[in-house]
Amino acid sequence: MTAYTIRGARAADGEPVDLFVCNDVLVDEPAPNAELVEADGLLVLPGLVDLHTHLREPGLEDSETVASGTACAARGGYTAVFAMANTDPVTDSPERARHIAELGRQANNAEVFPVGSITVGLVGEQLSPIAEMAAAGVRLFSDDGRCLMDSALMRQALELAAETDTVIAQHSQDHLLAGPDACVDERSVAGRLGLTGWPWVAESTIIARDVQLSELTGGRLHICHITTAESVDVVRWAKARGVPVSAEVTPHHLLLDSSLLSGLDTTFKVNPPLRGAGDIEALRAGLADGTIDIVGTDHAPHAAAAKRAAFPAAKPGMLGLEQALASVIETMVNTGRMNWSDVVRVMSTVPAQIGRAGGHGRPLRPGQPANLVLVDPDRRSMVDRERSASASRNNPYHGMDLPDPIEATMWAGRWTYRRT
């Protein structure tokens, strides 16, 4: 038996709490041989849940593996991650989904929920076996990295989502408006940098189409990484109509803006791109008022070689799991826009509800699984990309002075990370 008494912490609402862990659950009194953990000055929160993680295994293990990516998750306070389907091979069958979950169990750092692709091979032409994957336990389907452009297929996918009680997560980006050379935000920087832009309209027009398909079919739609003010407006409109839609913002789109691109450092290349100040303000306001439901990391490791290219040719994507809470503290808590209960809602409770990640995002009460994170709300440090569990080093926060909040993470009663 393993048992802990976590003493002297405060809950998200500021109330003092002592927590008693016995094996993998919270109990209502200390076990006789419980190890004492002093948590004075710390917050204790439910473990974080990420609906948008790229773990790269199978196929791109030099960028990340299930083991290294979930080690990042534990260091970032996460107890559950949803592994995006754009691996090689793509997660487009029940067998492949089961394999990802099994790799997660072997790594044993966090619970891994496989995301299934919406279309076979992410090609956008033929639906994956969504019903079979749903029967195998897949709760989220996404072609992330690419937008599912075909409206009729999107309608069918949402119909299947309604039938199977699953969710379609769309990377909203019209590939005809945002051509193959697009690599930075069109509105704020493309002209100045002499590069081809991703136009804002490529995102919100797809969202407008998809929320209407969601309304028509009753299928639940999740909008990955929204980045523009117009997208926030469309989601607000859809929610007012009662459409079953949820929206996500990434830690990097909350904190980082397109002025960072002036040196053409490919670390800052990401899809959708870093935007300008007006969009960032709309994202923060949308997260604070509930239009945007959750923070998802879009943790996207890339090996150095994939980033060591001319800007238009470099791979898009940046690391996210280890600094996600830091970004949310800096942009939302330290600015007074959200309190800690709001943070729990957008980083744990609601992502767990959307993905039906049973046992995660639960209140820290006796009888619940012992999935939790100890947080120092005031600690700060300079981010060093070398101090990372990732196999990659494309960390956009390197050298920044940021909150450094994660003291320890516990998944199913076991410490998956403790600050040393």
Q: Does 50 bind Zn ion (CB under 5 A)?
A: no
Which residue stretch of 19-27, 120-128, 222-230, 312-320 sits at the interface with Zn ion (rule: CB under 5 A)?
222-230
Whether the link from the prior residue into 58 is cis, omega within 30° of 0, is: yes
Give me the residue label for tokens 């100040």. Answer: 277
Type of residue found at 191: G
Asked if 298 is an active-site residue, the reply is: yes
Q: Does 403 bind ligand DOR (CB under 6 A)?
A: no
Find the largest Cα–Cα distance for the chain: 67
Q: Does 270 bind ligand DOR (CB under 6 A)?
A: yes
Length of the chain in terms of residues written:
420
Q: Does 144 bind ligand DOR (CB under 6 A)?
A: yes
CB 225, min distance to Zn ion, A: 5
Q: Does 300 bind ligand DOR (CB under 6 A)?
A: yes
Nearer to ligand DOR, 180 or 242 (CB): 180
CB 323 within 8 A of CB 251: yes
Instruction: Name the residue number minimizing CB distance to Zn ion.
Output: 171
Q: Please work out the total of residues on this chain that contact Zn ion, with binding judged by CB under 5 A.
A: 3
Nearer to ligand DOR, 10 or 171 (CB): 171
Nearer to ligand DOR, 270 or 333 (CB): 270
Supply angle C-alpha 265, 253, 172, rounded to 5.
105
Distance, in Å, from the CA atom of 320 to the CA atom of 303, rounded to the nearest integer, reads: 15
92: its two tokens: 């487009």
Q: Does 316 bind ligand DOR (CB under 6 A)?
A: yes
Strand 16-22 and strand 3-10: the pairing is: antiparallel
Using CB under 5 A as the binding rule, the residues of this chain from 129 to 168 that contact Zn ion are 144
Question: Could you tell me the CA-to-CA distances from 281 to 114, 138, 147, 172 in Å, in that order?
Answer: 32, 34, 25, 20
Nearer to ligand DOR, 115 or 234 (CB): 115
Nearer to ligand DOR, 256 or 333 (CB): 256
Q: Does 405 bind ligand DOR (CB under 6 A)?
A: no
Of 162, 150, 152, the closest CA to residue 141 belongs to 162
Instruction: Name the residue number minimizing CB distance to ligand DOR.
Output: 317
Residue 359, contacted partner among Zn ion, ligand DOR, none, CB below 5-8 A by kind: none
Distance, in Å, from the CA atom of 38 to the CA atom of 61, rounded to the nearest integer, reads: 38
Which of 298, 342, 376, 401 is catalytic? The answer is: 298
Whether the link from the prior residue into 363 is cis, omega within 30° of 0, is: no
Residue 322, contacted partner among ligand DOR, Zn ion, none, CB below 5-8 A by kind: none
CB 271 within 8 A of CB 298: no
Of 116, 113, 111, the closest CA to residue 96 belongs to 116
CB 324, min distance to ligand DOR, A: 15
Using CB under 5 A as the binding rule, the residues of this chain from 163 to 202 that contact Zn ion are 171
Residue 73, contacted partner among Zn ion, ligand DOR, none, CB below 5-8 A by kind: none
DSSP 189-244: IIHHHT--EE-THHHHHHHHHHHHHHHHH--EEEE-S---HHHHHHHHHHHHTT--
Using CB under 6 A as the binding rule, the residues of this chain from 29 to 68 that contact ligand DOR are 54
Residue 286, contacted partner among ligand DOR, Zn ion, none, CB below 5-8 A by kind: none
DSSP 96-111: HHHHHHHHHHHH-SSE
Of 319, 302, 361, the closest CA to residue 78 belongs to 361
Residue 300, contacted partner among Zn ion, ligand DOR, none, CB below 5-8 A by kind: ligand DOR
Using CB under 6 A as the binding rule, the residues of this chain from 159 to 188 that contact ligand DOR are 171
Q: Does 248 bind Zn ion (CB under 5 A)?
A: no
Which spans of this chain sit near ligand DOR (rule: CB under 6 A)? 54, 86, 144-145, 171, 270-271, 300, 316-317
Which spans of this chain sit near Zn ion (rule: CB under 5 A)? 144, 171, 224
**Residues taking part in catalysis:** 298
